[in-house]
Amino acid sequence: MNVLLIYPEFPDTFWSFKHALKFIHKKAAQPPLGLLTVGAMLPKKWSKRLIDLNVTKLRERDLAWADYAFISAMVVQRVSVDQIIQRCKGAGVKIVAGGPLFTGEYEQFEDIDHLVLNEAELTLPPFLEDLEAGRPKRVYKTSEFADIKQTPVPAWELLDRKCYAAMSIQFSRGCPFNCEFCNVTTLFGHRPRIKDAGQIVKELDAIYRLGWRDRIFFVDDNFIGNKKYLKTQLLPRLIEWRKGKKGIPFNTEASVNLADDTQLMNMMVDAGFDTVFVGIETPDEGSLAECNKMQNKNRDLAQSIKTIQRAGLEVQGGFIVGFDNDTPSIFKRQVDFIQKAGIVTAMVGMLQAPIGTRLYERLKKEGRLLGNMSGNTDGTTNIIPRMDPALLSKGYQYIMSQIYSPKNYYQRMRVFLKEYKRSSINVPFNFRNLVAFFKANIQLGVIGRERFQYWKMFLWTIFRKPGLLPQTITFAIYGYHFRKVAKLH
């Protein structure tokens, strides 16, 4: 059996880092971890090829070789998915599809031969068994959750590693919280399920043996869902694993209550973590209550962010506008909060309603849905907001123009760097980083309209925080990407 594992292309998004990756001659931020994990679950005797459309093209000879195409996708990849389906159907290649997009919207994909939904650990084995017996069904789904202690090491051998800026690893699935707009609990449940520390070390060893020395992203939607296990088992093993190794900084996602646990933050930093993405959403208490973001309520959010920064963890922040409780004042309040907290990488999107969430069901009853969401922080929404739509759109554009303007962007870089305790992880300096450094000096310091802010920040870092110069250059490059995506040229 010849199988293509096809990962659809991402549109130009804040998360793609497409324009930033050009500085280091990489094609994608991270590999398709889910698809590589599925690849490890397929029969050993099958011939497998990975086609990640973010780094390569799907060629006619690939389709001519294949018996089956396995596709995994998120909602934001829908356009590319439709193109892949048409090409596979035209070439007579049978399609097997899974992942968040299909799990939520499988009834809309009539041209797919087999839908293996929810978690592959549970639904892929019966499909493979039926396929072997010559009687595969069209849809395989389950309401149960998998024991991810049985999940195999991803099939890293299928990957062209030089195309990626970071590798990925997963420790847990699920989140203990219940935010109204979030589909994580719909897909993976409220009880965090974890791999044991030995599994994680085994996966890290596999990546390390391949020669990888750059960043590794723990893709967990809330890495700190099981704090006790982290502090007593996983983090001590990661601290031990790191001894004698150079480079390999970690980053992940966590809830803001991380700020309440000094021991946990210190252990994460000792284990090699230097960045966490936090869903902050809004500084408005009423909107936090509306979306049931209780872990963010009744606290000084800006102070919590600074506490995490001072521990040695950069905070990347997710923000939303368009809650029912929002008033026109929210746009300036969001900008002011982001600037005050020094959140350099701030992702701001309109409120969207994913299928299966409590928000989707509520708005469906209220007759306020406008089709499917884009899954992108692109200023679109699939809901009818309480606020005048034109005012909401204008306010969103105001936020974009403010937080990504060179003046404000470089200003909050300085706010952050004043708070940040330098990571102890020294990433080896290599030729690629040297090229990125010189390219940034030319693209941003000579050609770019931010050249005044760039050199001012460069010199400030040299004299005040010289050890953080690589971080300053990285942020400057990110800013270039964000302005491109926000179309602030």
Instruction: Mention every residue, 6+ apart, whose C-beta is less than 8 A from residue 59.
Output: none
Residue 147 lies in a domain: no
- Examine the domain organization and report whether 367 and 447 are in the same domain: no
- Examine the domain organization and report whether 255 and 334 are in the same domain: yes
| pLDDT tens-digit readout, 453-478 | 999 999 999 999 998 999 999 999 99
Domain boundary among 419, 440, 467: 419
Neighbours of 199 (CB within 10 A): 20
Question: Any alpha helices (H) in 275-355, and if so which ranges?
Answer: 285-290, 301-310, 330-341
In whole numbers, what is the pLDDT of the chain averaged over residues?
95
- Examine the domain organization and report whether 444 and 409 are in the same domain: no
Please report the pLDDT score of residue 329 as a whole number.
98
Please choose, from the candidates 45, 68, 3, 41, the residue with its C-alpha nearest in 3D space to the C-alpha of residue 125: 41
Please report the pLDDT score of residue 247 as a whole number.
86
The dihedral built from the CA positions of residue 227, 15, 250 and 416, taken in this order, carries a sign that is negative
| pLDDT tens-digit readout, 184-229 | 998 999 899 999 999 999 999 999 999 999 999 999 999 999 999 9
Residue 246 binned pLDDT confidence (cut-offs 50, 70, 90): confident
Residues 81 and 101: beta-carbon distance below 8 Å: yes
Residues 39 and 402: beta-carbon distance below 8 Å: no
Report the DSSP pairing between strands 273-281 and 250-253. parallel
Residue 253 lies in a domain: yes
- pLDDT of residue 426 exceeding 70, the answer is no
What would the two tokens of residue 244 be?
A: 């004698």
Residue 156 lies in a domain: no
Please report the pLDDT score of residue 375 as a whole number.
87
Neighbours of 437 (CB within 10 A): 15
Residue 428 binned pLDDT confidence (cut-offs 50, 70, 90): low
- Examine the domain organization and report whether 383 and 454 are in the same domain: no
Residues 355 and 104: beta-carbon distance below 8 Å: yes
Rounded to whole angstroms, the Cα distance separating 401 from 2 reads 49
Residue 172 lies in a domain: yes
Rounded to whole angstroms, the Cα distance separating 343 from 334 reads 11
Residue 424 binned pLDDT confidence (cut-offs 50, 70, 90): low
Max intra-chain CA distance, the chain: 70
- Examine the domain organization and report whether 187 and 89 are in the same domain: no
- Examine the domain organization and report whether 48 and 130 are in the same domain: yes
| pLDDT tens-digit readout, 14-41 | 889 999 999 999 999 999 999 999 999 9
CATH number of residue 32's parent domain: 3.40.50
279-297 mean pLDDT = 97
Residue 155 lies in a domain: no
CATH number of residue 192's parent domain: 3.20.20.70
| pLDDT tens-digit readout, 360-394 | 999 999 999 998 898 887 889 999 999 999 999 99
Residue 293 lies in a domain: yes
Total domains, the chain: 3
Residues 77 and 105: beta-carbon distance below 8 Å: no
Residue 148 lies in a domain: no
Domain boundary among 419, 440, 463: 419
The model carries a pTM of 0.95
Domain boundary among 395, 419, 443: 419
Please choose, from the candidates 232, 345, 245, 255, the residue with its C-alpha nearest in 3D space to the C-alpha of residue 308: 255
- Examine the domain organization and report whether 267 and 392 are in the same domain: yes
Rounded to whole angstroms, the Cα distance separating 188 from 225 reads 13
Residue 302 lies in a domain: yes
Domain extent for 476: 431-485
- Examine the domain organization and report whether 44 and 82 are in the same domain: yes
- Examine the domain organization and report whether 252 and 381 are in the same domain: yes
- Examine the domain organization and report whether 54 and 117 are in the same domain: yes
Amino acid letter at 425? Answer: I
- Examine the domain organization and report whether 270 and 358 are in the same domain: yes
- Examine the domain organization and report whether 235 and 309 are in the same domain: yes
Burial code (b: 16+ CB inside 10 Å, e: under 16) for 142-172 equals: eeebbebeebeebbbebbeeebbbbbbbbbb
Amino acid letter at 266? Answer: N
Please report the pLDDT score of residue 274 as a whole number.
95
